[in-house]
Structure 1
């Protein structure tokens, strides 16, 4: 029986790379994202890929994706929205709410549905794509950073709950990745961005090894370690200057 892999945010970037890896390893791939044309282009290069266009900011659409996917052996919660700006501005709420709907609610619901199916079966893997942003608060990117901190915390807890039950839950926490994410969110990615194909491979291998947390690259590991040493009062202005996503 073939392994069925559901990948959200699968049309481009990390999601597309995860799909290519899964297909290369002989798995059945289920692709979901908002853009049908992008999904169809990717599906054209992956034999037997299933396509489920959906807007994961709508809870009803999240449920529909799960129902259409049917049985899932591996869930990759990759879909995510970004954005920056002054939290006090009232006219940014629609974008921020959509960010929370996708980054937090959709990922949580799909993980819940997946564990509900995997635990009784005694097998399954979940990979939640978080970020190095999960380790620190992000001034002027407050909601995005908070959403990734939530996803990392959720992953840690579910990893512990699933331990010994045949299911693994892994959080992938990369630094900036060379994808369309920054352009879509109106963000500055920085000079050193990791190739999406490398990050996807590292995340996939870490998930298959059952690791709780995967941080690609030596620099990423160093930055994550530094956040546990430096006090928040010092970290906040450093992060704010580094991000430079001012209102």
Structure 2
């Protein structure tokens, strides 16, 4: 029997949805381990959580976009006498532009972080998650339900996340493990700036604040849901590709991308 202390590991926790999820899990008294590249921001968030009367989260700085970063994170967790019981795979990046025109290395970095790192962390910590009958919350997007001309690799990466989550939800249900994909629409965070997205790229009626997304994600995850899509409008968006011819979906998304591109 392991004597290590179980924690909820949240990646990409320094800002945006990750920080909002950290606050939400802290409010429900989960011991936290926050991971991101920016250690100063992680410590600032940990101090804020402690100031609100919750246990101060542990903090580890790591670059999960590299295999070495994940290995070093695993070693640091073991060295601190911790083990993962709940994994929140929130770290992710995107990039706006036509695939043929974008830098190859930057597009492969999307796959490395959004897919390879998520899969590595999930499988690496699965034994302890199963042992604690914990869970895995993967932050995907409504982008995972439709192809995305103008953000082709990002949309494809989120489709992978949704598919993997649904399969693991089924495989691990008998073990008492919760596996859920949180699929928000646009959330005003630093992700927009880093991805090169103008503030008006998406319809405003689809947008939800990070704290609301985190709250609904936590409730759905703890409730054993397979997929959580915050907002009625966003839920409709995930259904349209299933009810509409694929060629029409592609044409509409491509039209909007070209319209936005001409406006920039």
Q: TM-score, normalised by structure 1?
A: 0.94
Q: Residue in 2 aligned with 1:60?
A: 68
Q: Residue in 2 aligned with 1:157?
A: 167
Alpha-carbon RMSD: 1.7
Q: Is 2:105 the partner of 1:94?
A: yes
Unaligned runs of 5+ in 2: 51-55
C-alpha distance in 2 between matches for 1:30 and 1:52 = 7
Structure 1 contact 86–246 (Cα < 8 Å) conserved: no
C-alpha distance in 2 between matches for 1:209 and 1:81 = 28
C-alpha distance in 1 between matches for 2:195 and 2:221 = 27
Q: Moved runs in structure 1, 4+ residues, more than 6 A?
A: none
- 1:66-81 alignment, distance < 5 Å: 66-69=74-77, 70-81=82-93
Q: Is 2:235 the partner of 1:221?
A: yes
C-alpha distance in 1 between matches for 2:41 and 2:25 = 18
Unaligned runs of 5+ in 1: none
TM-aligned CA deviation for residue 2 of structure 1: 7.2
C-alpha distance in 2 between matches for 1:197 and 1:5 = 18
TM-aligned CA deviation for residue 125 of structure 1: 0.8
For 2:225, which of 211, 214, 219 is the aligned residue? 211
Query: For residues 105-133 of structure 1, what are the alpha-carbon distances to aligned partners after superposition, in whole Å with 9 as ceiling and x for unaligned?
Result: 011111112222222x1501100000000
Secondary structure of 1:73's counterpart equals strand
Structure 2 contact 137–179 (Cα < 8 Å) conserved: yes
Q: Which protein shows a greater Rg?
A: 2
Aligned residues: 245
